[in-house]
Structure 1
């Protein structure tokens, strides 16, 4: 279980990985590298649950079945804090955050990330799946795709919020972006029907 924070600013930083080598072989089979992206949403945890139930629960994939298991990486991307804020209903100039305010926001982000990853890792532990965690900083869409490419991920799993066409056009969709830009196969897990309605 390894937690690494890589600053990204606008998402241009390179992911620093301690192990660049290919996963070790078990019985002549390469271990599959799976990445699940999580955030505060229930949909992202639904995607993790789906991966644990459907990928790690199948015959031939678990270490007990001789499939060698697989490497599960849970990634969370923090958006960088902007030091200036433009007041919404004012024509005055921008407000510049003080150092203490920036430090307070960063500490809050770190606590939030730690809580999310702790919850995700506990889900993995409950299913007896070994996982590593990674915290990145930058635009989630870009950083997820970049890290998946740089880590040579075999399968990316993301949750879908089920946004309609209009909301997706204005807000953008991480899952939609990843579907078009990730270099590996991707599974987009839709919310359960009762949650979606």
Structure 2
């Protein structure tokens, strides 16, 4: 069963200038202003945090440079930090002649651990947004990351999805798959894929 947990914990709003031509514009008048919605996929990898920082430095801070306003005003931009945890239920593990069935207590312990890890990861990402005066909210989902990210982006009508690329070589990408590649082909909004810092290609 898919699970969704959503909380808004940052009180910063950054009004500012109109975005560049390739992204939706933001009107200057508060009464008519709409919020530019950016979703950033976050996990415990350095690549996802690199993507968040790149988006803040090159999109949000550059286009919304003015100081934060009161929390009750309509923000010019809102970042949704989304983390997806895999579905975990009673299973037989490992496959083979002597499998062990996980008890409900064991499953519950794993789920609590997942929730704790998700909260820690999102807290780190939220702190980065606070330090840069970017208004943000957190969203925890359960299921397959590729599908759930695309579904959430569509349901929330986001204007831009930001994901980090792990820089997998062609062979690893063929076997392991890629969340960024999948989202690029299935999400219905513009997507920004941030590559990791340059290094030797992985095969």
TM range (shorter): 0.7 to 0.9
Q: Does 1:71 align with 2:71?
A: no
> How do 1:34-113 residues align onto structure 2 when only pairs under 5 Å count?
34-59=38-63, 61-62=64-65, 64=67, 69-87=76-94, 90-92=96-98, 94-113=99-118
Partner Cα distance (2:114, 2:175) in 1: 25
1:134 deviates by 0.3
TM-score by length of 2: 0.78
How far is the alpha carbon of 1:164 from its aligned partner? 1.0
2 CA distance for matches of 1:122 and 1:49?
11
Equivalent residue, structure 1, for 2:10: none
Q: 1:130 to 1:196 in 2, by over 3 A?
A: farther
Structure 2 residues without counterparts, runs of 5 or longer: 8-25
Matched, 1:148 2:142: no
1:150-177 CA distances to partner (integer Å, 9 max, x unpaired)?
A: 0000000000001111111111100000
**For 1:99-137, what per-residue CA distance to the aligned partner results, in whole angstroms no more than 9, with x for missing partners?**
221111011101101100110000001101110000000
Question: Per the alignment, in what secondary structure is the counterpart of residue 189 of structure 2?
Answer: coil
Following TM superposition, the consecutive aligned residue runs of length 4 or more in structure 1 with deviations greater than 4 angstroms are 15-18, 62-68, 194-197
- How many Å apart are 1:196 and its aligned residue? 6.7
5 Å-filtered alignment, 1:1-197, equals: 8=2, 27=29, 28-59=32-63, 61-62=64-65, 64=67, 69-87=76-94, 90-92=96-98, 94-194=99-199
Residue ranges of structure 1 left out of the alignment (5+ in a row): 1-6, 10-14, 19-23
Conserved 8 A contact 1:62-1:69: no
Say what the alpha-carbon RMSD is for the aligned residues: 2.8
**Displacement of 1:95 after TM fit?**
2.3
